[in-house]
Amino acid sequence: MVTEALEIRMARLEGAYEQVSERLGGLGREIVALRSDLTSEMAMLRSELTSEIGSVRSEIGGLRSDVNAEIGGFRSDVNAGIGGLRSELRTDHGSVRSEIAELRSDLRSDGRDLRRAMSTQFYWLLTLVLGSILIPILRDLAVVR
């Protein structure tokens, strides 16, 4: 009976070991499957990130070219405007110079005319002053003689 009890116990232990072995084998297979799933998911994530980064880079490149085109257009517009202003200033500069020359000429001639008029007025005034002084003196001289 002791042998039978020992054999029963050994059979139970062997059965328990088999169950533990099966369960450990199942856990091992699940861990391997999880690793495989995790590896494939990581690979898909890397692939998606790589494609997204590539699309973001291409969008940034497109934006960069658009901005450069806008800046280039703005530069050409500004340069054209500056060129137009330069030509207008050159034209206006020449006309302003000619106007200044005309004004100088007009001032010189007006100055000459003003000098002549002042000289004439001065001589008329001098004649009146001297006449008012000399006429009485001449009368007195004429009477005295």
| Mean pLDDT per 10-residue segment, the chain (145 residues) | 81 87 90 91 92 90 86 82 81 78 87 90 89 84 75
Determine the pLDDT at residue 42: 93
Determine the pLDDT at residue 145: 62
Determine the pLDDT at residue 40: 92
**pTM > 0.85: yes or no:** no
Report the alpha-carbon angle 27-31-33, nearest 5: 115
Determine the pLDDT at residue 121: 92
Distance, C-alpha 61 to centroid of its chain:
20
Determine the pLDDT at residue 34: 92
| CA quadruple 73, 78, 81, 83: dihedral sign | negative
Segment (H or E) for 110 = helix 2-144
Q: List C-alpha distances in Å: 56 to 49, 63, 119, 135.
A: 10, 10, 90, 112
**Distance between CA atoms of residues 22 and 14, nearest Å:** 12
**Distance between CA atoms of residues 89 and 96, nearest Å:** 10
Residue 72's Cβ-side half-sphere holds a number of Cα atoms within 13 Å equal to: 6
